[in-house]
Structure 1
Amino acid sequence: MNIKQAAEQSGVSSTNIRFYEKEGLMTPARNRGNAYRDYTAGDIRTLKLIRMLRMLDVPLPTIKAVLRGEQPLQQALQAQQTVLEQQAAQLAAAMQFCADLARQQPQADTLDVDACLTRMESPTPQQGFFSGWLQDYCTLARVQHQKHFFFIPQGSINTPQEFTAALQTYAEERGMQFALTKKGMYPEFSLDGIPYKAYRNPGKYRDEICCDTVHPEQLDTGLPSRREKLLRIARIVLPPVCVFAAIMAAGWAVTGGTDWLWLAALASGGVLLGRCFEKWL
Structure 2
Amino acid sequence: MKKITVIIPSYNNCQWYERNLSSVVAQDYRNFRVIYVDDCSSDQTGELVEQFIADHNSGKLIQLIRNPVRIGALQNLYNTILGCDDDEIVIVLDGDDWFAHNGVLKKINEVYVSSDCWMTYGQYRSWPDNIIGCSKEIPSDVIEANNFREVEWCSDHLRSFYVWLFKSIKMEDLISPYGTFYQMTGDQAIMFPMLEMSGHRAKFISEVLYIYNVANPINDCKVDRQLQRRLEMIIRMQKRYDRLSERMRASYT
Same fold (TM over 0.5): no
TM class by shorter chain equals under 0.3
Rg larger for: 1
Compare the two structures and name the one with the higher helix fraction: 1
Compare the two structures and name the one with the higher strand fraction: 2
* TM-score normalised by structure 1 residue count: 0.24
Higher RCO structure (Cα 8 Å, ≥6 apart): 2
